């Protein structure tokens, strides 16, 4: 049986759509723990339009990469590797949060009363 390139593309788009939809559902179901990210602030860090904004950015950047050739993929791969190397060897060792201790909400009152 003869398989055309357009049918392969259609199948890959279908698989990609299913992966994207399942990722969207997964990201929607994740509960953001505001207490964990409250680095001294009462509100904590909140990213706007989660999960819509990250998924939209992933789609736009994927489209831009797919529409380019192999040279663009090579550049992205090299810069991604450089970023990972910088993160592993510099960012993790020089982070101001390296020695941070996570304190649960139930223990915050006890900790602040001990420090006073």
- What pLDDT, in 10s, does the model give residues 44-70? 566 677 777 877 888 888 888 888 888
- Supply the DSSP string of the chain, one letter for each residue: ----HHHHHHHHHHHHHHHHHHHHHHHHHPPP-TTTT-SS-SS----TTTTHHHHHHHHHHHHHHHTS-HHHHHHHHHHHHHHHHHIIIIITTS-TTTT-----HHHHHHHHHHH-
pLDDT value of position 59: 81
Confidence category of residue 41, pLDDT binned at 50, 70, 90: low
Using CA atoms, how far apart are residues 25 and 50, in angstroms rounded to an integer? Answer: 12
Indicate if the pLDDT at residue 115 is higher than 70.
no
């Amino acid at each position: 049986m003869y398989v055309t390139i357009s049918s392969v593309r259609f199948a890959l788009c279908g698989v990609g759509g299913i992966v994207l939809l399942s990722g969207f559902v997964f990201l929607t179901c994740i509960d953001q723990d505001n207490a964990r990210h409250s680095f001294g602030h009462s509100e904590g860090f909140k990213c706007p339009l989660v999960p819509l904004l990250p998924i939209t950015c992933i789609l736009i950047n994927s489209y831009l990469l797919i529409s380019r050739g192999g040279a663009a993929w090579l550049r992205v791969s090299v810069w991604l590797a450089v970023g990972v190397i910088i993160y592993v060897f510099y960012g993790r060792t020089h982070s101001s949060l390296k020695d941070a201790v996570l304190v649960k909400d139930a223990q915050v009152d006890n900790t602040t009363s001990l420090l006073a």
